[in-house]
Structure 1
Amino acid sequence: MMAFANLVWGVEPTPQTTFLLFIALIVVHGLLNTFGVNIVSLLSNVSAWWHIVGVLVIVGALWIMPTQHQDVGWTFTHWYNGTGWSFGPYVFLMGLLMAQYTYTGYDASAHVAEETKNASIAAPKGIVMSVVISIIGGWILLFSITAAIQDGSDKGIAGLLGSQTGLPPAQIFLDALNNPTMAKFLLFIVCGAQFFCGMASVTANSRMSYAFSRDNAIPGSRIWAKVNKRTGTPTNSIWLCVVLSIILTTPALFNTTAYLAVTSVAVIGLYIAYVTPVFLRRLDKSFVPGPWNLGRWSAVVGWIAVVWVVLIIILFVLPPVNPITIDTFNYAPVAVVVVALLSIVLWFAYGKRDFMASSVEAEHLTLAPEKLLEE
């Protein structure tokens, strides 16, 4: 979005301007989520079509308008190493991290399951289909953007990385289309997609904190578990997530390294959370699958997921660039240890005593199956 603001209004993409834009956007996302489920549902439907049509428009423009493209061989095999490391396999593994970072958020279907019709089928299907569609659409989009790079030399790629817009793809649009107006339009499509993703993130995050609060899993649960009678939304949880997001992003104003450590922990934490139930499911032979599942592929996919997450967690804590200095050091391992220790301390000091104690959810989960069916 800063690239769009730079091209349209001449806003310089600095940490300060980026932070202010972030605050404005997340407050808007908080307001949208506060107004009610119907608005979020409508915008979610718009978001789905926006992403599909938007990708088609961007891909079409990048193949029709440029006067030249990189060939398939260059697009798939050209190697640019900006890490400072000379060991090729290690550099390749570091390159996986950006792709891995983007494959998050598909758990949102689970977080809004209570607000979904036929959730036992719709929620898991939504998780799987979001990944499948992202793979296909994302691959086509990335291939098109990469092939549209006009100067494929190392100097040309370095120029993209140092673009005044602050965003290499924005510079690719400008160079390839040779039409500033069209480039701005494509960036507008990208900004719209980012806006909808941000809205969905606040929705999923607030529902997750609300669910934890119902189980007395976080401090101040009584406050965050309240539902606004007028809007039917967990308003307190929504704004808790908004405020905490702003606090966690604040280090970016002063130190990019600290901010990257926070985001790395977020990704590592997400994948640990994703794979833990998968791992436990594989160990529990008495587990009864839901009405929509992967059938005989469940075990294969499950164990592949476990092994893959272990691999990428290791990658996320390794130093991505060389030389290693106080500014380039990967502080994610330190942050992960701090978060883990804090979680353990809070569990024994607070959570072990209060988690699911005297809560409606706890009582619900202890009911016999026939009682659940009667409900």
Structure 2
Amino acid sequence: MAEETKNASIIVPRCMLWSYILNGSMGFVMLVTYCFCLTDVQAALDPEINRSGFPYIYVFQTGTGSIGGAIGLTSIILILGIAGATSFFATTSRQTFAFARDNGLPGSKWIGKVHPRLLVPLNAILVTFGFTILLSLINLGSTYAFNAIISLQLLALMSTYAISIGCLALKRLRNEPLPPSRWSLGKFGLPVNLFAFAYSCFAVIYVCFPVTTPVVVSENMNWAIVMFAGVLVIALVYYFVHGRKVYEGPVVFVKPAEE
């Protein structure tokens, strides 16, 4: 998204920092309030008592004492969910475009195009949108399969975080030079990198566990690690067969100011 932002080297990291500070503070307040209102955990999980099927709706209803109040609070959650999904969708489509632009995906020439009038990677957006619809339909057939896909997404995300942050922290520990930057955490950079790396490694292990026990292979087994290994094998095969011949790594396009 930084490629579509003016003065990105300052604006993007500043927005990232303040989004974590503001959302983390408000999320902590909401978590404390929610736990305070969650007076009966078993009732919230009991389908005979909580007919909505969602524990947070039960908490909203018992906390406000009103169905209308529960609907209002649930609507806020729904709006936030849609907003979050939109931002994830925008980010994923741009990552897909950037990878295709570097010839890292099958059909890169088509996916990596920018629409001449809209000035957005429309083909990458359509590909992302199509895969999102297909993955969402899995939930209609099996909730456990859908949860495995979600775990796979988090596993892949945290793996990339661990690799990139780990490489950066290693260069800092070795006192090796880093590319110049306009925005920096200064002396707090290395501790933040080490904490983020440790958290990413913990998350990689944690998301591979099943969500419930006892584990039944045909019902609630978490197949995320199996799918992750399968995707990794397919990616490696594609790289050695075709990708290494055309992939050149991340590239930088510099647009002259007069254009």
* Fold agreement, TM-score > 0.5: yes
Q: Are 1:333 and 2:225 counterparts?
A: yes
Contact 2:44-2:59 at 8 Å conserved across structures: no
Name which of 80, 83, 108 aligns with 1:193: 80
Q: How big is each residue's C-alpha offset from its partner over 1:216-241, in whole Å with a ceiling of 9 and x where there is no partner?
A: 11111111111122221111111100
Listed as ranges, the gaps of 5+ residues in structure 2 are none
Q: Distance in 1 between matches of 2:224 and 2:13?
A: 31
Aligned length: 254
Query: Residue 147 of structure 2: SS of its match in structure 1?
Result: helix
**1:162 Cα deviation from its structure 2 partner:** 6.7
Aligned residue identity for 1:342: I
Q: Distance in 1 between matches of 2:48 and 2:122?
A: 40
Q: 1:206 to 1:276 in 2, by over 3 A?
A: same
Aligned residue identity for 1:217: G
Aligned residue identity for 1:199: T
Contact 1:145-1:172 at 8 Å conserved across structures: yes
Contact 1:163-1:171 at 8 Å conserved across structures: yes
**1:345 Cα deviation from its structure 2 partner:** 1.0
Q: Distance in 1 between matches of 2:146 and 2:183?
A: 39
Aligned residue identity for 1:128: L
Contact 2:61-2:67 at 8 Å conserved across structures: yes
Name which of 209, 221, 229 aligns with 2:116: 229
Q: 1:148 to 1:228 in 2, by over 3 A?
A: same
Name which of 107, 120, 123 aligns with 2:9: 120
Aligned residue identity for 1:345: V
Q: How big is each residue's C-alpha offset from its partner over 1:73-98, in whole Å with a ceiling of 9 and x where there is no partner?
A: xxxxxxxxxxxxxxxxxxxxxxxxxx
Q: Distance in 2 between matches of 1:247 and 1:268?
A: 20
**1:251 Cα deviation from its structure 2 partner:** 2.3
**1:188 Cα deviation from its structure 2 partner:** 1.6
Q: 1:271 to 1:219 in 2, by over 3 A?
A: same
Q: Are 1:312 and 2:203 counterparts?
A: yes
Name which of 94, 100, 116 aligns with 1:213: 100
Query: Residue 141 of structure 1: SS of its match in structure 2?
Result: helix
Structure 2 length normalisation: TM-score? 0.89
Corresponding residue of 2:157: 270
Aligned residue identity for 2:205: I
Q: How big is each residue's C-alpha offset from its partner over 1:188-231, in whole Å with a ceiling of 9 and x where there is no partner?
A: 22211111112112111111111111111111111111112222
Q: 1:142 to 1:363 in 2, by over 3 A?
A: closer
Structure 1 length normalisation: TM-score? 0.63
Name which of 166, 175, 200 aligns with 1:279: 166
Corresponding residue of 2:20: 131
**1:160 Cα deviation from its structure 2 partner:** 7.3
Name which of 224, 229, 245 aligns with 1:353: 245
Q: Distance in 1 between matches of 2:74 and 2:92?
A: 26
**1:144 Cα deviation from its structure 2 partner:** 1.0
Q: Distance in 2 between matches of 1:271 and 1:170?
A: 30
Q: Which has the higher contact order (CA 8 A, sep 6+)?
A: 1
RMSD: 2.5
Contact 2:43-2:49 at 8 Å conserved across structures: no
Q: Are 1:321 and 2:208 counterparts?
A: no
Q: 1:189 to 1:362 in 2, by over 3 A?
A: closer
Q: Which structure 2 residues correspond to residues 9-48 of structure 1 after superposition, within 5 A?
A: none
Contact 1:320-1:330 at 8 Å conserved across structures: yes
Query: Residue 241 of structure 1: SS of its match in structure 2?
Result: helix
Q: Distance in 2 between matches of 1:254 and 1:341?
A: 27
Name which of 7, 28, 32 aligns with 1:143: 32
